[in-house]
């Protein structure tokens, strides 16, 4: 049996499929195929695909598929960057994003960022890429020059970039993306004494460190470190193109840069993956448990076993930062649990996983089961397996799952897993580090539910408490993260960065309320939020969000009841709200009617609601709430 791993017909490559669709004038109509077609392609192939896709007009795609998510990117910099748009187009398409691009003139970055009337600002970009190179820093060096001259140039450039970043924060939109700057050998080796070369290296590293620190100083600045990319891509450029075409970075490095931008775009759009599902045999350990027995498998001691052990360490490292770990393996459950519990080679243990499915079901069935158990969509999953059949099966039947195809060489497994930054977040929170434990505690709640005589009895025994109050400074990153990562209980799916949350907090007309909850089995932390704004005698509820971990416990009704009671107590006459549909939030379409709101306008697909505050819905009887406004 053969499982197709892309949407291309058998015998036709992904790039051939693109050319066929383009030649037939059907590329826009088939745009939803693109992410699956491009999955697994290298940077050079992505750039070739991007050149084909770049001929599409966004409006043509949107005409066929109005729900396609677009991303506006403005590109400016200090050198020729024409080679960036094809890989950028391809990388965004690989993640299901349609590029709207604005490209600045050669070396116009200072003017573009300084002039608030420039086309860069008018573009209102989601991402503004300011691509810097060494010539931007050192082109004004005198002849001859000394290390002191280069140090002064780096300090002046860093101060300029800092000032322009602050200016962009005040007047621009979206995220400003900067980069560290490689120091070319053509500069270091103009210095003939080793002491001066070392001093120049120190000054340059201090310059790059200063650039990286800008991301900590500005919430809407991201700095991509080019050093790891350069280590993988070879020379930064072709010296002839750098001299004559002013192309400071070659196609290979720009392709890797575009790949990182694609990962960042996915992060700012709330597309971070949440769950890593791994196979076991020849994935977490060397050997096949069912054939070789526990004594015949290895994740240490042997040469190959050591490679598997290192892979386990990386998986465990991801799990420590909020990535939920699960197993889908064709094995019997009891031997698997024995190995994870007591085998001396194992770095990963039973408690590291929120779900272990060791059985003989097809792996796509297992992934659906894990998703159901965690109350998450499979499109939040990454699946890593060494079997081409299993990865092909999952890719074909569950296209929303990110498939990591591991091969027979375990030394390459870490690179394959980390290649696409699937789990990136802007900032790690305390809830992230505690997430696996919070999900594991759900087993105790499930046991209580199964033993209770009814749902009401379960809720009474659960002893739910809710704390509702304005978001605190240390919770801003978590609240922004909830808007980015929560899809099912998200009434309008407005995505907010930390700076957006902070701006609402600073506005006296906005209410930014954190929903925290606990029960008899432990503290669940900050699990949701209410965003509202006072407008005259009306409170506009802009969004209500709630983590899928705590659905169906009355928490959302409790929080909104408290908000309505506060609005009534302040003399407001009505509350207005809206539901805006997405592919994932259909479960909450009737949330507002369920708490007493009536239809007030909008459309059948995107209704508006109102509540006159003559009566305020009661807090569910099984919930205890503390509300502070």
Contact between 568 and 629 (Cβ < 8 Å): no
Domain extent listing, the chain? 14-268, 275-418, 430-627
Angle (nearest 5°) at CA 503 between 500 and 508 = 140
Q: What is the pLDDT of residues 377-433, one digit of tens each?
A: 999 999 999 999 999 999 999 999 999 999 999 999 999 999 999 999 988 888 888
Bridge-based pairing state of the strands 275-278 and 221-224: unpaired
Q: Which of 449, 441, 275 shows the shortest CA–CA distance to 357?
A: 275
pLDDT at 95: 94
Angle (nearest 5°) at CA 400 between 394 and 406 = 45
- As beta bridge partners, residue 176 has 128, 221
Q: How confident is residue 216, by pLDDT bands cut at 50, 70 and 90? A: very high
- Percentage with pLDDT > 70 across the chain: 98
Contact between 100 and 122 (Cβ < 8 Å): no
User: Which CATH class name applies to 275-418?
Assistant: alpha beta
User: Which CATH class name applies to 430-627?
Assistant: alpha beta
| E strand or H helix at 577 | strand 574-578
Residue 194 CA, distance from chain mean position: 43
Q: What is the pLDDT of residues 170-194, one digit of tens each?
A: 999 999 999 999 999 999 999 999 9
Find where tokens 């049996």 sit.
Answer: 1
What value does the mean pLDDT take over residues 545-558?
A: 92
Per DSSP, 302 falls in state S
Contact between 517 and 464 (Cβ < 8 Å): yes
Find where tokens 């400003």 sit.
Answer: 176
| E strand or H helix at 328 | strand 324-330
Residue 89, phi then psi, degrees to nearest 5: -60, -45
The yes-or-no verdict on residue 4 having pLDDT over 50 is: no
Taking the domain 14-268, which CATH number applies? Answer: 3.40.50.1110
Q: What is the pLDDT of residues 491-516, one digit of tens each?
A: 999 999 999 999 999 998 999 999 99
Q: How confident is residue 574, by pLDDT bands cut at 50, 70 and 90? A: very high
Tokens representing 536 are: 């005259």
Q: 282 CB contacts (<8 Å, ≥6 apart)?
A: 288, 386, 408, 410
What value does the mean pLDDT take over residues 307-325?
A: 97
In whole angstroms, give the CA distance from residue 21 to residue 23. Answer: 5
Contact between 130 and 178 (Cβ < 8 Å): yes
Neighbours of 360 (CB within 10 A): 9
In whole angstroms, give the CA distance from residue 95 to residue 41. Answer: 12
Tokens representing 72 are: 């506006």
pLDDT at 447: 86
pLDDT at 441: 83
In whole angstroms, give the CA distance from residue 27 to residue 19. Answer: 9
DSSP state letters, 592-603:
HHHTT-EEEEE-
In whole angstroms, give the CA distance from residue 158 to residue 377. Answer: 43
In whole angstroms, give the CA distance from residue 31 to residue 292. Answer: 46
- The CA-atom distances, in angstroms, between 302 and each of 287, 297, 306, 309, 429 are 12, 10, 6, 10, 38
Residue 69, phi then psi, degrees to nearest 5: -80, 125
Q: Which is higher by pLDDT, 39 or 277?
A: 277
Tokens representing 144 are: 């001859």
Contact between 63 and 27 (Cβ < 8 Å): no
The torsion defined by the Cα of 376, 377, 380 and 382, in degrees rounded to 10, comes to 100
Q: Which of 68, 12, 14, 75 shows the shortest CA–CA distance to 44?
A: 14
Q: What is the pLDDT of residues 332-346, one digit of tens each?
A: 999 999 999 999 999
Q: How confident is residue 439, by pLDDT bands cut at 50, 70 and 90? A: confident
The yes-or-no verdict on residue 1 having pLDDT over 80 is: no
Helix then strand then coil, in percent of the chain rounded to 5, is 45, 20, 35
Tokens representing 300 are: 């240490």
- Percentage with pLDDT > 90 across the chain: 86
pLDDT at 501: 95
- The CA-atom distances, in angstroms, between 17 and each of 14, 20, 38 are 5, 5, 11
Q: What is the mean pLDDT of the chain?
A: 93
pLDDT at 252: 94
- As beta bridge partners, residue 22 has none
Residue 38, phi then psi, degrees to nearest 5: -85, -10
Tokens representing 97 are: 């994003």
Q: What is the pLDDT of residues 589-619, one digit of tens each?
A: 999 999 999 999 999 999 999 999 988 989 9
Residue 423 CA, distance from chain mean position: 6
The yes-or-no verdict on residue 533 having pLDDT over 90 is: yes
Q: How confident is residue 130, by pLDDT bands cut at 50, 70 and 90? A: very high
In whole angstroms, give the CA distance from residue 623 to residue 621. Answer: 6
Evaluate whether 14-268 and 275-418 have a shared fold: yes
């Amino acid at each position: 049996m053969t499982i197709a791993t892309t949407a291309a017909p058998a015998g036709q490559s992904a790039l051939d499929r693109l050319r066929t669709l383009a030649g037939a004038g059907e590329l826009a109509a088939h745009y939803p195929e693109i992410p699956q077609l491009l999955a697994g392609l290298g940077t050079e192939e992505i750039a070739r695909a991007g050149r084909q896709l770049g001929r599409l007009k966004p409006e043509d795609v949107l005409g066929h598929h109005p729900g396609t998510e677009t991303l506006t990117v403005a590109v400016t910099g200090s050198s020729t960057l024409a080679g960036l748009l094809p890989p950028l187009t391809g990388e965004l398409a690989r993640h299901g994003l349609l590029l709207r691009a604005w490209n600045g003139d050669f070396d116009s970055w200072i003017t573009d960022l300084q002039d608030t009337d420039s086309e860069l600002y008018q573009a209102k970009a989601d991402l503004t890429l300011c691509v810097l190179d060494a010539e931007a820093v050192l082109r004004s060096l005198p002849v001859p020059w000394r290390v002191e001259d280069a140090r002064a140039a780096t300090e002046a450039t860093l101060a300029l970039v800092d000032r322009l970043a602050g200016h962009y924060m005040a007047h621009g939109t979206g995220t400003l993306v900067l980069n560290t700057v490689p120091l070319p050998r053509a500069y270091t080796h103009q210095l003939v004494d080793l002491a001066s070369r070392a001093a120049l290296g120190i000054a340059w590293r201090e310059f790059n460190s200063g650039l990286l620190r800008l991301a900590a100083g500005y919430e809407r600045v991201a700095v991509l470190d080019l050093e790891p990319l350069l280590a993988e891509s070879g020379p930064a450029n072709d010296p002839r193109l750098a001299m004559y075409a002013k192309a400071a970075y070659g196609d290979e490095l720009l392709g890797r840069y575009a790949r990182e931008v694609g990962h960042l775009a996915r992060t700012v759009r709330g597309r971070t993956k949440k769950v890593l599902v791994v196979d076991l045999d020849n994935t977490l350990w060397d050997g096949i448990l069912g054939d070789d027995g526990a004594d015949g498998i290895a994740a240490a001691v042997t040469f190959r076993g050591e490679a598997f052990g290192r892979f386990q360490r990386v998986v465990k490292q991801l799990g420590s930062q909020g990535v939920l770990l699960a197993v889908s393996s064709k094995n019997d459950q009891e031997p698997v649990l024995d190995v994870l519990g007591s085998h001396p080679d194992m770095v990963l243990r039973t408690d590291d996983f929120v779900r272990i499915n060791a059985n003989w079901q097809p792996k796509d069935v297992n992934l659906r089961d894990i998703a159901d158990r965690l109350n998450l969509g499979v499109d939040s999953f990454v699946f890593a397996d060494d079997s081409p059949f299993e990865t092909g099966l999952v890719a074909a039947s569950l296209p929303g799952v990110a498939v990591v195809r591991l091969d027979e060489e375990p030394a390459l497994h870490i690179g394959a897993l980390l290649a696409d930054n699937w789990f990136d977040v802007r900032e790690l929170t305390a809830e992230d580090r505690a997430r696996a434990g919070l999900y594991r505690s759900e087993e105790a709640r499930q046991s209580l539910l199964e033993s209770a005589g009814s749902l009401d009895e379960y809720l009474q025994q659960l002893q739910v408490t809710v704390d509702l109050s304005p978001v605190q400074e240390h919770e801003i990153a978590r609240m922004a993260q909830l808007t980015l990562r929560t899809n099912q209980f998200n009434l309008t799916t407005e995505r907010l960065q930390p700076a957006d949350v902070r701006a609402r907090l600073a506005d006296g007309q906005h209410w930014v309320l954190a929903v925290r909850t606990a029960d008899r089995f432990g503290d669940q932390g900050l699990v949701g939020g209410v965003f509202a704004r006072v407008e005259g005698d009306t409170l506009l509820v802009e969004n209500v969000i709630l983590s899928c971990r705590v659905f169906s416990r009355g928490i959302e009704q409790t929080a909104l009841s408290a908000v309505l009671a506060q609005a009534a107590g302040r003399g407001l006459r009505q509350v207005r709200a809206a539901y805006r549909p997405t592919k994932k939030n259909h479960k909450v379409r009737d949330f507002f009617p369920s708490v007493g709101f009536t239809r007030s306008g909008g459309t059948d697909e995107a209704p508006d609601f109102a509540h006159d505050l003559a009566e305020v819905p009661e807090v569910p009887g099984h919930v205890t709430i503390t509300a502070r406004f």
